[in-house]
Amino acid sequence: MTHPPHAAAKPGPDHYLALTLGAGVLVVFGGALVNRFLPLGSAPAPWLEAFASYFLAICLEATPFILLGALLTAVLELWLPPEVLPRITARLGLWGVPAVALLAPLFPVCECGVVMVARGLLRKGLPLPHAVTYLLAAPIINPTVLAATYIAYQDLAHPVWRGLGGLVVAVAVGWAVLAIKPRSALAAEPAPAPNPTAGPAVQPLDSLALAPEPPSPACGCGHDHDHSPAQGGVLARVAGHLADDFAEMMPYFLAGVFLASAIKTFLSASLLASLGGGVFLGPLTMMVLAAVLSLCSEADAFVAASFTEFSFPAHVAFLVLGPMFDLKLLLAYRLIFRGRFIVLLAALVWLGVSLMVAGVTVLR
Amino acid sequence: MRAFIARHTRAWLLAPWIILVGVMLAGGYYTFYVAAWHAWLQLIGLGLLVFCLLATWGRRGAPAPACGCGHDHGPEPGSKTGPSWPLLAVQWAPLFVFLAMGPTTLSLTSTGLGGQAAQSQASAPHAPVNPLATPLDDAPPRFEDGYQVLNILELHKIYVEKGVLPDKVQVLGRGYVLTPAEQANLAEDQRANQVGAFLYRFVISCCTADARPASVVLRGSGQGQVRTDSWYQARGRPVVLPGPSRSLAIELDELKEIPAPDPPYIVVAF
């Protein structure tokens, strides 16, 4: 027995993103591949080595973290009852946002894995403002990241201000999203109705949560799918979620890494750093550097510590902004959010970090 | 219940990553890209990918009771739904890049940072890595033929921490010869000191994306042998050159060309 052919679906933005990325990889590295396997082939240009080194390094570095994030998401998907998060956030009200930030270390993932986990939490009914707060806070309020910051700077001030700054900015942005109530923020369709078990107070927040996965209709469903959850054991279901989330994430992630690698290859960090210090320009320069360098939050402090010509607030700006918003994340966020919301989020994060740095400058 | 990608499609999505990470681990190429401590994370990643693939294959031919139709729901021939072909193809992009380029390492030539490294980064007080913030080995000093074996970063650290330098050291690094244009851009004291060639190694904490060069200037007759991008073992007396740049240098006793070390980078673990 065979199913009738599925109807043709209109390609989504991820299709065109993947097409662009594929073309970019072919244009940049296609010649090198031909040269490598031709007996008379010439050596690749030196900049190609740097480009390939950055691209492969970030891919290799991040892949285990993305997989671990996807594994955590799969566990949440299978074992977290859907009514729990909406009910808790409804009870906490406004305080739910800082509570999420403070509980972020319970799911300690760096910024590559956090996108997967945030999507899983949204799917489980965590409201958008709370999920945004988690997304921004988790890569900073993280024991490994703060310990690495201490080692890099050999003082307590940097990790303490990094943690505090990250917490303040994440909560402020979360509250701002709660106040703005952006429409059509999520890449997937919003939940059609609030969860009845969560009570009426949940509605304003819950309406911004991702729709729970709809039940698979019996065949004729218009999807290209297996019904593996029903037919496999627990391991098969975990594997199904893990593999599919990973596969969905990687085109966005790879596009971000390709862009970041290109910019790292052609734009020297030292050149950017030479733009200088100063009360205003210093933090701004370090924020641009953090966005461009796209470093892992567990290693970025070692790089930041080498920019000795910059002030303390400028260093805090680098350490807080980097894990929240860099080039590789910019496209990874596309997995969860629509483009317009990403622009809004970027504006809020940059504004939040700028105000936080102003506060640090005054207090120090 | 969630709609899953069909099993053969999923295998196509997972295969390039399994091959890439597997080859990197089996061939030891991962040290060209990430710190050695990352190996166990790569193993976990590979394990998860293989687990997904095996769990997918393990269900081959199993019925699909959720829909009750008793057959597998792979995409129909000619189906336009499911991940589109570009989405499938881009999963192969990292493997494609690795195949096209082979194992690659960062160099001052490829990053175009040679001139800048010479201007500021050979100088101890402005070292690219904060030497004090580098948790290096506390192992007892090791000597070969009377020369203390150090890496370039350890040499910087000793100078910054103690203000004195060992009598004789042995370091290894990649050579870089400054072009006349780069020499013209050096600080006045560096030009007066005739800084022309140096050894450097990139220092990484996590992966090559966070690499910073640490370098030491070469002095003496041996510096004429240096070729850009070749690897050398240098033996000699470390000195700090006069002038505000305070460039760290080695008065060469011996310079020997060597194969590239593995790993090529100095890894600062935490």
Q: Where are the domains of chain A?
A: 47-211+233-363
- Res. B121: pLDDT tops 60: no
- Encoded tokens for A251: 């085109």
Q: What is the DSSP string of B227-254?
A: -TT-EEEEEEEEEE-SSTT-BEEEEEEE
8 Å CB contact between A133 and A171: yes
Contacts of B94 (CB under 8 A, 6+ apart): A55, A56, A59, A254, B16, B17, B20
- Res. B68: pLDDT tops 50: no
B112 touches chain A (CB under 8 A): yes
Mean pLDDT of A349-356: 96
Query: Which of A225, A254, A334 is the best residue to mutate to test the B interface, defined by the most B CB atoms within 10 Å of its own CB?
Result: A225
Do B55 and B115 lie in one domain? The reply is no
Which chain A residues contact residue B65 at CB under 8 A?
Answer: 227, 230-231
Report the alpha-carbon distance of residue A256 to residue B83 in Å, rounded. Answer: 19
Report the alpha-carbon distance of residue A255 to residue A259 in Å, rounded. Answer: 6
- Res. A205: pLDDT tops 60: no
Which chain B residues contact residue A22 at CB under 8 A?
Answer: 86, 89-90, 93
Do B92 and B129 lie in one domain? The reply is no
Asked if B24 and A60 come within 8 Å (Cβ–Cβ), the reply is: yes
Mean pLDDT of B131-151: 76
Facing B55 at nearest CB: one of A47, A152, A235: A235
For residue A272, the model assigns a pLDDT of: 67
Q: What is the pLDDT of residues A312-325, one digit of tens each?
A: 999 999 999 999 98
8 Å CB contact between A22 and A343: no
Q: Which domain holds residue B53?
A: 7-101
For residue A232, the model assigns a pLDDT of: 62
Which chain B residues contact residue A219 at CB under 8 A?
Answer: 67, 69, 73
Residue whose C-alpha is closest to residue A164's, from A140, A198, A134, A189: A140
Q: Which of B76, B101, B126 is the last residue of a domain?
A: B101
Of A356 and A297, which is predicted with more confidence?
Answer: A356
Do B123 and B226 lie in one domain? The reply is yes
For residue B4, the model assigns a pLDDT of: 66
- Res. A343: pLDDT tops 90: yes
Do B120 and B224 lie in one domain? The reply is yes
Which chain A residues contact residue B81 at CB under 8 A?
Answer: 6-9, 222-224
Do B79 and B143 lie in one domain? The reply is no
Asked if B69 and A218 come within 8 Å (Cβ–Cβ), the reply is: yes
For residue B115, the model assigns a pLDDT of: 67
For residue B238, the model assigns a pLDDT of: 94
Asked if A8 and B81 come within 8 Å (Cβ–Cβ), the reply is: yes
Residue whose C-alpha is closest to residue A245's, from A233, A235, A237: A237
Report the alpha-carbon distance of residue A333 to residue A202 in Å, rounded. Answer: 25
What integer best gives the mean pLDDT of chain A?
A: 81
Of B41 and A200, which is predicted with more confidence?
Answer: B41
What integer best gives the mean pLDDT of chain B?
A: 81
Residue whose C-alpha is closest to residue B206's, from A258, A302, A152: A302
Does residue B2 fall inside a structural domain? Answer: no
Facing B106 at nearest CB: one of A50, A152, A226: A50
Q: Which of B54, B71, B101 is the last residue of a domain?
A: B101
Do B79 and B116 lie in one domain? The reply is no
Mean pLDDT of B13-42: 93
For the beta carbon of residue B225, count every other beta carbon within 10 angstroms. 15
8 Å CB contact between A223 and B6: no
Report the alpha-carbon distance of residue A132 to residue A126 in Å, rounded. Answer: 10
Q: How confident is the model at residue B79 (pLDDT cuts 50, 70, 90)?
A: very low
Mean pLDDT of B197-209: 88
Facing B64 at nearest CB: one of A65, A231, A255: A231
Q: What is the pLDDT of residues B220-250, one digit of tens each?
A: 888 889 999 999 999 999 999 888 878 889 9
Do B89 and B128 lie in one domain? The reply is no
Asked if A224 and B10 come within 8 Å (Cβ–Cβ), the reply is: no
Percent residues over pLDDT 90 in chain A: 33
Least confident of B143-147, B173-177, B203-207: B203-207
Of A192 and B266, which is predicted with more confidence?
Answer: B266
For residue B7, the model assigns a pLDDT of: 76
Do B164 and B237 lie in one domain? The reply is yes
Question: Under DSSP, is residue A300 helix (H, G, I), strand (E, B) or coil?
Answer: helix
B83 touches chain A (CB under 8 A): yes
For residue A151, the model assigns a pLDDT of: 78
Do B166 and B256 lie in one domain? The reply is yes
Do B38 and B128 lie in one domain? The reply is no
- Res. A301: pLDDT tops 70: yes
Q: What is the largest CA-CA distance in chain B?
A: 85
H-helix or E-strand containing A351?
A: helix A339-363
The three-state DSSP-derived secondary structure of A284-329 is HHHHHHHHHHCCCCCCHHHHHCCCCCCCHHHHHHHHHHHHHCCHHH
For the beta carbon of residue A8, count every other beta carbon within 10 angstroms. 10
Q: Which residue in the block uniquely carries the two structure tokens 């199913």?
A: A3
Report the alpha-carbon distance of residue A56 to residue A74 in Å, rounded. Answer: 26
Q: Which residue in the block uniquely carries the two structure tokens 């078990």?
A: A197
Does residue B1 fall inside a structural domain? Answer: no
- Res. A211: pLDDT tops 60: no
Q: What is the CA radius of gyration of chain B?
A: 26
Asked if B90 and A58 come within 8 Å (Cβ–Cβ), the reply is: no
Total tally of structural domains belonging to chain B? 2
Residue whose C-alpha is closest to residue A59's, from B3, B218, B193, B21: B21
Facing B101 at nearest CB: one of A48, A235, A250: A48
Percent residues over pLDDT 90 in chain B: 40
N- to C-terminal Cα distance for chain A?
73
Q: How confident is the model at residue B116 (pLDDT cuts 50, 70, 90)?
A: low
- Res. A332: pLDDT tops 80: yes
CATH number of the domain at B223, please.
2.40.50.140
Length of chain B: 270
ipTM of the complex: 0.87
In eight-state DSSP terms, residue A337 is B
For residue A193, the model assigns a pLDDT of: 42
Do B138 and B22 lie in one domain? The reply is no
Do B165 and B66 lie in one domain? The reply is no
Mean pLDDT of A95-107: 88
H-helix or E-strand containing B149?
A: strand B147-149
Q: What is the pLDDT of residues A108-146, one digit of tens each?
A: 777 878 888 999 899 888 999 999 999 999 999 988 889
CA A317 to chain B, closest CA, distance in angstroms equals 18
- Res. A7: pLDDT tops 50: no
Closest residue of chain B to A11, computed from CA coordinates: B84
Residue whose C-alpha is closest to residue A71's, from A223, A226, A234: A234
